[in-house]
Structure 1
Amino acid sequence: MAAVPLLRFPARIAAFIAVLATAVPAAAQEHGAHEHGVGRLNLAIDGGAVETELMAPGADIVGFEHEPRTPEQKKAVEAAVATLKDGAKLFRFPSAAKCRQESAEVESPLIKEHGHGDESHAEFHARYRFRCDTPERLTHADVLFFEAFPSALELEVRTVTAKGQSARELTARSPRLHF
């Protein structure tokens, strides 16, 4: 198995991620831990650094949540992982912000090297780091997730930027996230 790069976060982003890591599971327990069609996106901006964390049900990504059994299912998982690792297929920032992807990690019980887990509600979990050369031009992101994964209906989004924290929902009809 390939080594996973260690991501280092600025203190403000690390604190935000820590809060979300505890808040999201608590909210999931309150609102039903796993809802097909509904994913979660956490996004933090600190200067030119953009950190994102995406969680989505396997059913929305590949159409199933069990270990891939057929060659077609295995290919579907491989294709999904390739798409998820390419942040440009999921997030479009203003070209004037000059953003580029620095790293991506994708995990799921459906990926062979991650072993077996609770497959009854398998999710994909992806983390991205982008670097923007002109962050003052970073005013929004077009979230292309719904184009890449048409079974997805909604993303519950939490953001933290220099302007503060916010929460909202994105859909295929309204995929733009303003900062």
Structure 2
Amino acid sequence: MKRFFATAFLTFCAGSYAATQHEAHTHGLAELNVAYDAQQLIIELRSPAANLIGFEHEPQNIDQQVEVENLIRSIQAPENYFVVPPSCALNSIDFSSPYTGADDFGRDRPEEEGAHHDEHEHHEEHHEEREEHGHHEHEEEHEGEHGSENHKDIVVSYEWDCADKNLSAIGVNLFRVYPGIEKIDAQWIVSGKQGAKVLTKSSSNLQF
């Protein structure tokens, strides 16, 4: 019962995000979902990969691989991102990344393997089109239709167990850590109250 409220909220937020935000996939924009109930705090961050590492394709050189590795290390230290009450003790981190070897810190994600397989088949279809219609025509189609399918999002959620019965505020340091983030759509349910706010570099804290 302790987890039901927060889990249900984040499930709703994930569905809402997929329906309204994912298709747009706006670079510079991220989403933050916060739930606090029964002294349990959950914060979920959703962002295009480009906001965090500057690209969305698979790493193509050592520098880009280092960017992915640095991101994974940074994600494991939520104090880099958020200021939560001192009474809150980190309980778990759940991380979903489109990059090889980074999903959920080593947990298997067969559904994403299937998605990768579909993308591979789609790539082979385009390769055949290049042979049939020519390189230039294929490149235009790749950018116009297939390009939108290459968008990659990173999702990370944190769970804390807290001693305080009430949560009054959370500090958000994401703009300082990731200059690629220009705006954050935040929504929350805290102790039965709900609200939303657009965070910017000049107004980055959440007051409940």
TM-score (norm. length: structure 1):
0.84
Q: 5+ unaligned residues in a row in structure 2: which ranges?
A: 104-112, 120-148
- Which range moved further: 149-158 or 10-19? 10-19
Residue aligned with 1:147, SS: helix
Residue aligned with 2:175, SS: helix
In structure 2, what is the equivalent of residue 3 of structure 1?
none
Percent identical pairs in the alignment equals 28
Q: Tell which structure's C-alpha radius of gyration is larger.
A: 2
Q: Does 1:173 align with 2:202?
A: yes
Q: Which of 139, 142, 150 in structure 1 is aligned with 2:168?
A: 139
Deviation at 1:9, TM superposition (A): 5.9
Counterpart Cα distance in 1 of 2:195 and 2:156: 21
Deviation at 1:83, TM superposition (A): 0.9
- Which range moved further: 57-66 or 99-108? 99-108
Q: For residues 42-99 of structure 1, give each alpha carbon's deviation from its aligned partner in whole angstroms, at most 9, with x where no partner exists.
A: 110013110111111111100000000111100100101111121111110244xx12
Flag the structure with higher helix content.
Answer: 2
Counterpart Cα distance in 2 of 1:134 and 1:159: 17
Let me know the Cα RMSD of the aligned residues.
Answer: 2.0
Superposed, 1:114-125 pairs within 5 Å as 114=103, 117=116, 120-125=150-155
Superposed, 1:35-46 pairs within 5 Å as 35-46=26-37
Residue aligned with 1:59, SS: helix
Q: Does 1:93 align with 2:84?
A: yes
Counterpart Cα distance in 2 of 1:172 and 1:135: 29
TM-score (norm. length: structure 2):
0.73
The 8 Å contact of residues 27 and 51 in structure 2, kept in 1 or not, is answered as yes
Q: Which of 75, 81, 95 in structure 1 is aligned with 2:72?
A: 81
Q: Which of 32, 47, 51 in structure 1 is aligned with 2:38?
A: 47
Counterpart Cα distance in 2 of 1:171 and 1:111: 31
Count of residue pairs the alignment pairs up: 167
In structure 2, what is the equivalent of residue 107 of structure 1?
96
Structure with more relative contact order (C-alpha pairs < 8 Å, separation 6 or more): 2
Q: 5+ unaligned residues in a row in structure 1: which ranges?
A: 1-7
